[in-house]
């Protein structure tokens, strides 16, 4: 994968003028290539939080935060959320094209073959502390998979091994998530079923058992989960995906690289926000529904309170995923006959914030996590499992990026620089002489 240099940028520094190549992506996004900067000038760049730094070239996801555009491999998120299955979306992200029927059948059948956990792994869940958060279980269990599949942990996996790793993780993580829920709640585990779609119906079956008369999970519930998983499936170089790439760049195995992504996702500023949103809405509800008080608190920098589910590093107009989920919320709740006061509260909170100059001037809008929790609640997912659902969706993106990175020409270990601000050289003073 290469992006051609289209023009140059001039940098004048320390009496020298440096010409730097400017490369453009297929959507005309431009980047000044500073690879020669330190060699030629002795200086590096400083970009706290990486707001202006592209860490790689990638052909997976295009995002235009100003226009609210999100496309996976060129396909608009709106179309995928409406028409695709999660397996199709995962295949698309990882392999670059929508599968034809035969490819999809083979892909889902290979996932079904691998969906049972390796022998002995079920015991893993029996030795965890009571009340452990499901994200901690997922993090540990996925890293532990490396012990069950030592043959898939080479630092330089072949293409066949890469495929096998991808299928193993895609197939087993839903099973791990469901077993962790069942064991954590003292319930017997429900083994996977190969006749159900892998990450949606099969996952719901392993979580809650047979629902309808036909023994299959409710179609409205399956479709709601499908949409949520697709909307979370990739988001270019977000915190957890960048973590997967960075850890993987040291040639650590895929199990620990993905596990590291799970750790990064858990934080409340990233995937953990979906749990935090519902906890915030519940708190406001219990407090008499006084949302104006919480809007005021979010504006007060000394309060330490943020409006969870609001704001985004890259979306500065609207988050297209949030729009889809907001309308999906109404449909799903109506079809399930659920009346959730938190939905009305969320809408009133959004309306109040969007009229407030603090939020308008900072371009803070509802993000994907603002409405997703209300749907997850309605379909019976416990609040502490919300971020696990985000991880199930994002897994396809993590794997697509991990694979793309391994196959990129010239890929090398990720290793940022820093600007040191500590003491200059000091002389060691033996303990007895320190005053
Ligand atoms: N409530 C109140 N103020 C906010 C919020 C918020 N949710 N988000 C940003 N701000 C303010 C922030 O205080 C700052 O104000 P000022 O310019 O006066 O200092 C300004 O807006 C810019 O914020 P920032 O923290 O510099 O923005 P960022 O790009 O570093 O952070 C964010 C993005 C998503 C972490 C942040 O908006 C946030 O903490 N939101 C709440 C958590 C959340 O919903 N996270 C889920 C993100 S979407 C899912 C995902 O992909 O991870």
Same domain, 254 and 307: no
Assess whether the C-beta atom of 264 lies below 6 angstroms from ligand 1.
no
Nearest CA to ligand 1 atom 14: 362
- The CA distance from 416 to 245, in Å, is 13
CA distances, 434 to each of 382, 422, 429 (Å): 56, 20, 6
Pairing outcome for strands 30-32 and 61-64: unpaired
- 426 belongs to a structural domain: no
* 306 Cα to the center of ligand 1, angstroms: 8
Nearest CA to ligand 1 atom 21: 362
**Is 387 in contact with 271 (CB distance < 8 Å)?**
yes
User: What is the chain's pLDDT, residue by residue, as a tens digit (435 residues)?
Assistant: 667 777 999 999 988 899 999 999 999 999 999 999 999 999 999 999 999 999 999 999 999 999 999 999 999 999 999 999 999 999 999 999 999 999 999 999 999 999 999 999 999 999 999 999 999 999 999 999 999 999 999 999 999 999 999 999 999 999 999 999 999 999 999 999 999 998 999 999 999 998 877 888 889 999 999 999 999 999 999 999 999 999 999 999 999 999 999 999 999 999 999 999 999 999 999 999 998 999 999 999 999 999 999 999 999 989 999 999 998 998 899 999 999 999 999 999 999 999 999 999 999 999 999 999 999 999 999 999 999 999 999 999 999 999 999 999 988 999 999 999 999 999 999 999 998
- 143 belongs to a structural domain: yes
Token pair for 26: 């297929």
Nearest CA to ligand 1 atom 48: 367
CATH assignment of the domain containing 350: 1.10.230.10
DSSP symbol at 48 = G
Q: What ranges in 51-133 are assigned the alpha helix state H? A: 77-83, 86-95, 101-113
CB-based contacts of 273, cutoff 8 Å, min separation 6: 308, 309, 367, 369
Nearest CA to ligand 1 atom 52: 270
With 0-12 / 13-18 / 19 or more C-beta atoms within 10 angstroms meaning exposed / middle / buried, residue 90 is: buried
Assess whether the C-beta atom of 372 lies below 6 angstroms from ligand 1.
no
CATH assignment of the domain containing 54: 2.20.28
Assess whether the C-beta atom of 272 lies below 6 angstroms from ligand 1.
no
- 356 belongs to a structural domain: yes
Same domain, 202 and 113: yes
Per the annotation, the verdict on 369 as an active-site residue is yes
Q: In what order do the strands lie in the sheet with 69-72?
A: 61-64, 69-72, 75-76
**Is 277 in contact with 433 (CB distance < 8 Å)?**
no
- 428 belongs to a structural domain: no
Of 36, 64, 92, the last residue of a domain is 64
Assess whether the C-beta atom of 310 lies below 6 angstroms from ligand 1.
yes
Tokens 């708190």 identify what position?
283
Assess whether the C-beta atom of 235 lies below 6 angstroms from ligand 1.
yes
- The CA distance from 231 to 371, in Å, is 12
- pTM here is 0.96
**Is 372 in contact with 274 (CB distance < 8 Å)?**
yes
- The CA distance from 227 to 223, in Å, is 6
- 411 belongs to a structural domain: no
* 385 Cα to the center of ligand 1, angstroms: 23
* 264 Cα to the center of ligand 1, angstroms: 16
Same domain, 265 and 317: no
Listing DSSP states for 116-144 in one string gives SPPTTGGGGGGGSPTT--HHHHHHHHHHH
Same domain, 394 and 359: no
User: Which has the closest alpha carbon to 369: 279, 247, 261, 253?
Assistant: 279
Token pair for 154: 């080479």
Nearest CA to ligand 1 atom 31: 313
pLDDT digits (tens, 9 = 90+) for 57-114: 999 999 999 999 999 999 999 999 999 999 999 999 999 999 999 999 999 999 999 9
Q: Which of 280, 299, 311 should be mutated for ligand 1, with most atoms under 8 A from CB?
A: 311
pLDDT of 2: 67
Containing H/E element for 46?
Answer: none
Q: In what order do the strands lie in the sheet with 16-24?
A: 5-13, 16-24, 30-32
Token pair for 224: 């709601």
CA 404, 408, 411: angle at the middle one, nearest 5?
115
Same domain, 223 and 91: yes
Nearest CA to ligand 1 atom 12: 362
**Is 143 in contact with 256 (CB distance < 8 Å)?**
yes
- 285 belongs to a structural domain: yes
Assess whether the C-beta atom of 360 lies below 6 angstroms from ligand 1.
no
Assess whether the C-beta atom of 369 lies below 6 angstroms from ligand 1.
yes
Tokens 């935090």 identify what position?
276
> Is the four-CA dihedral 331, 334, 338, 340 of positive or negative sign?
positive
Assess whether the C-beta atom of 373 lies below 6 angstroms from ligand 1.
no
Assess whether the C-beta atom of 370 lies below 6 angstroms from ligand 1.
no
* 365 Cα to the center of ligand 1, angstroms: 10
Same domain, 249 and 188: yes
Q: What are phi and psi of 71, to 5 degrees?
A: -135, 135
**Is 134 in contact with 177 (CB distance < 8 Å)?**
yes
- 315 belongs to a structural domain: yes
DSSP 3-state of 35: coil
User: Which has the closest alpha carbon to 197: 100, 90, 311?
Assistant: 90
CATH assignment of the domain containing 205: 1.10.580.10
One of 234, 312, 319, 401 is an active-site residue; which one? 312
* 51 Cα to the center of ligand 1, angstroms: 13
User: Which has the closest alpha carbon to 388: 276, 269, 265, 268?
Assistant: 265
DSSP 3-state of 101: helix
Same domain, 116 and 252: yes
**Is 257 in contact with 419 (CB distance < 8 Å)?**
no
* 363 Cα to the center of ligand 1, angstroms: 10
* 291 Cα to the center of ligand 1, angstroms: 19
Same domain, 120 and 239: yes
Assess whether the C-beta atom of 154 lies below 6 angstroms from ligand 1.
no
- 289 belongs to a structural domain: yes
Assess whether the C-beta atom of 298 lies below 6 angstroms from ligand 1.
yes
CB atoms within 10 A of CB 52: 10
* 43 Cα to the center of ligand 1, angstroms: 30
Same domain, 145 and 56: no
- The CA distance from 153 to 263, in Å, is 20
Tokens 């009229």 identify what position?
355
Same domain, 232 and 368: no
Per the annotation, the verdict on 312 as an active-site residue is yes
| Bridge partners (DSSP) listed for residue 13 | 16
pLDDT of 37: 95
Same domain, 196 and 338: no
Cα 244 vs. chain centroid, distance in angstroms? 10
Which residue segment(s) compose the domain that 41 sits in? 5-64
DSSP 3-state of 262: helix
Assess whether the C-beta atom of 303 lies below 6 angstroms from ligand 1.
no
Listing DSSP states for 296-311 in one string gives HHHH-TTS----TTB-
| Total number of domains in the chain | 3
Nearest CA to ligand 1 atom 8: 311
Same domain, 59 and 93: no
């Amino acid at each position: 994968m290469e992006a051609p240099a289209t023009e140059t940028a001039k940098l004048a520094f320390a009496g020298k003028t440096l010409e730097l190549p400017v490369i453009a992506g297929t959507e005309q996004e431009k980047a000044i290539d500073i690879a020669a900067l330190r060699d030629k000038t002795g200086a590096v760049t400083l970009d706290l939080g990486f707001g202006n730094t592209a860490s790689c070239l990638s052909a997976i996801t295009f995002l235009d935060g100003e226009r609210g555009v999100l496309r996976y491999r060129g396909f608009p998120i709106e179309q995928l959320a409406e028409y695709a299955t999660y397996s199709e979306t995962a295949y698309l992200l990882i392999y670059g094209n929508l599968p034809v029927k035969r490819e999809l059948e083979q892909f889902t059948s290979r996932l079904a073959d691998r969906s049972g956990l390796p022998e002995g792994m079920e015991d893993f869940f029996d030795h965890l502390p009571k009340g452990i958060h499901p994200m901690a279980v997922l993090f540990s269990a996925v890293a532990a998979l490396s012990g069950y599949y030592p043959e898939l942990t080479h630092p330089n996996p072949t293409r066949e091994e890469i495929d096998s790793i991808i299928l193993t993780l895609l197939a087993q993580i839903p099973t791990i998530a469901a077993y962790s829920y069942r064991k954590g709640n003292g319930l017997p585990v429900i083994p996977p079923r190969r006749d159900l779609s892998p990450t949606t119906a099969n996952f719901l079956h392993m979580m809650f058992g047979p629902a309808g008369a036909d023994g299959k999970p409710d179609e409205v519930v399956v479709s709601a989960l499908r949409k949520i998983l697709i909307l979370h499936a990739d988001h270019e170089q977000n915190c957890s995906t960048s973590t997967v790439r960075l850890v993987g760049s040291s040639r650590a195995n895929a199990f620990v690289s993905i596990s590291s992504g799970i750790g990064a996702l858990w934080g409340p500023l990233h995937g953990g926000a979906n749990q935090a949103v519902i906890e915030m809405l519940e708190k406001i509800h219990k407090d008499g529904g006084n949302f104006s008080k919480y809007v005021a608190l979010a504006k007060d920098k000394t309060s330490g309170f943020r409006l969870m589910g609001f704001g985004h590093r890259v979306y500065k107009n609207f988050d297209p995923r949030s729009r889809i989920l907001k309308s999906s919320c109404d449909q799903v709740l109506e079809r399930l006959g659920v009346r959730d006061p938190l939905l009305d509260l969320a809408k009133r909170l959004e309306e109040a914030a969007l009229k407030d100059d603090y939020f308008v001037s900072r371009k803070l809008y509802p993000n994907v996590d603002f409405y997703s929790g209300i749907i997850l609640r309605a379909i019976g997912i416990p609040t502490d499992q919300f971020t696990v659902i985000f991880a199930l969706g994002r897994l396809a993106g993590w794997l697509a990026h991990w694979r793309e990175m391994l196959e990129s020409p010239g890929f090398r270990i990720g290793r940022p620089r820093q600007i040191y601000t500590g003491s200059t050289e000091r002389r060691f003073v033996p303990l007895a002489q320190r005053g």
